[in-house]
Amino acid sequence: MKNNIEISLKESADNFAKFTLDKSNIDIIEQVSKVIASAFENENKVLICGNGGSSTDAMHFAEELTGKFRKERRALPAIALTDPSHITCVANDYGYEEIFARAVDAFGKEGDVLIAISTSGNSQNIINAAIRASNKKMITFGLLGKDGGKLNDKCDLQLIAPGKTTDRIQEIHIAVLHIIIETIERILFPDNYTD
């Protein structure tokens, strides 16, 4: 059992090392952070969607922005598209593939940002949301895994986390989301960071 745990920890560390070695990932994280910070400065918002564990990552990202991350600052407008009544209503009336697209229709506007989280990049409901957001002239960021799937070429910016399994990909996704929040705060609230 301990051998399996050690193998899992090494695999996770190796994925992070591989991700960090690709300097374009750092550039994309910086670019996404600047785009979101600029959206907030222009009184726009961020919408975030994902399925399963990626849905909880969407909620976690939103609450860190509307609540508090490390230090006191104003609330930042972010909405996780995870309302169960909306999801079941739209799934029933239009099909599961429309659950996030309809939310983008309801809440999105030009200049807003959509973060589309998908470990496969092939979830049709996420793809539809990205297409709908692009049609509304929102900025789209795909936080993806594996080869990026069908979503890879449908976003303005994308970042692909390495990993053979969903859980290893999601480990990098949550780290990326935390770093984006920290970078947004460093841009908008530099006095909170004195290092």
| pLDDT tens column, 98-110 | 999 999 999 999 9
Q: What is the mean pLDDT of the chain?
A: 96
Residue 113 has pLDDT above 80, yes or no: yes
Share of the chain above pLDDT 70, in %: 100
Residue 147 has pLDDT above 80, yes or no: yes
**What is the C-alpha separation between 28 and 127, in angstroms, rounded?**
20
Residue 191 has pLDDT above 80, yes or no: yes
What is the token pair recorded at 23? 């300097």
pTM of the model: 0.95
**Mean pLDDT, to the nearest integer, of 159-175?**
95
Q: Please report the domains of the chain, with CATH numbers, ordered by start residue.
A: 2-190 (3.40.50.10490)
pLDDT, residue 35, reads: 98
**What is the C-alpha separation between 173 and 159, in angstroms, rounded?**
9
pLDDT, residue 42, reads: 98
pLDDT, residue 93, reads: 98
Residue 195 has pLDDT above 90, yes or no: no
If pLDDT is split at 50, 70 and 90, which confidence band does 125 have?
very high
Of 151, 164, 80, 127, nearest to 172 by C-alpha is 164
**Mean pLDDT, to the nearest integer, of 130-135?**
98
